[in-house]
Amino acid sequence: MNFTRTQIPDVVICNPKIYGDHRGYFCETFRKDSLEEFLGFKVDFCQDNESKSSFGVLRGMHYQLPPFTQSKLVRVLEGSVLDVAVDIRKGSPYYGKSVAVELSSENKKQLFVPRGFAHGFVVLSKTATFAYKCDNFYAPSYDRGFLFSDKKVNIDWKLSYGKLVLSEKDLNQPLFEDAETFDYFQNLYEEEYSGHRI
């Protein structure tokens, strides 16, 4: 697995090494020790999720508040999506900035989205099967989000508004400036990763 930091360094692209021949291919999609060595802290994934969506479906922007904040390792099993992470750590030099990476069953890229980030994606192919690991359990009462089209964040979703398909929940999320967020990385990680540093 090769790892590359994005323009927001805490968000990391994971590129598995693909071994192929006339039979098909093999790749290692997750290796805990390698990821932790690159990140510099431990990540203990405890929940796997999977969704299937059709073209234009947009899910986001979602996150959970402490103490149920989540890191995610996301990938696409079938199809293609534009995957987006937004820094929601107040005081961060990247606060309100986003990273967008196309993930597909073809390129097999994965994105590590750390705690302190909102996450969302839009389907660019006819259908897409999306899978991700979380290092904290789903906690509905701590679930939060902000409006996908907020001009302050200004995410380019690559599709016109008329082609997007959203849930009522995501259409009625608050603006970014009104959303509940939390303090900068250092405080968050001191609380959430206490005892987990390598």
Catalytic residue check, 138: no
| Rounded CA Rg of the chain | 16
Which residues have CB under 8 Å from 141's CB, separation 6+? none
Task: From the candidates 62, 63, 94, 189, give the one annotated as an active-site residue.
Answer: 62
d(CA 47, CA 135): 7
One-letter identity of residue 157:
W
Q: What is the distance in angstroms between the CA of the first residue and the CA of the last residue of the chain? A: 20
**Strand pairing partners for 162?**
none
Angle at CA 147, nearest 5°, toward 146 and 150? Answer: 115
CB 157 within 8 A of CB 58: yes
CB 118 within 8 A of CB 61: yes
Task: From the candidates 63, 94, 132, 189, give the one annotated as an active-site residue.
Answer: 132
Q: Which helix or strand (DSSP H or E) is residue 170 part of? A: helix 168-171
Catalytic residue check, 132: yes
d(CA 188, CA 26): 37
Catalytic residues: 62, 132
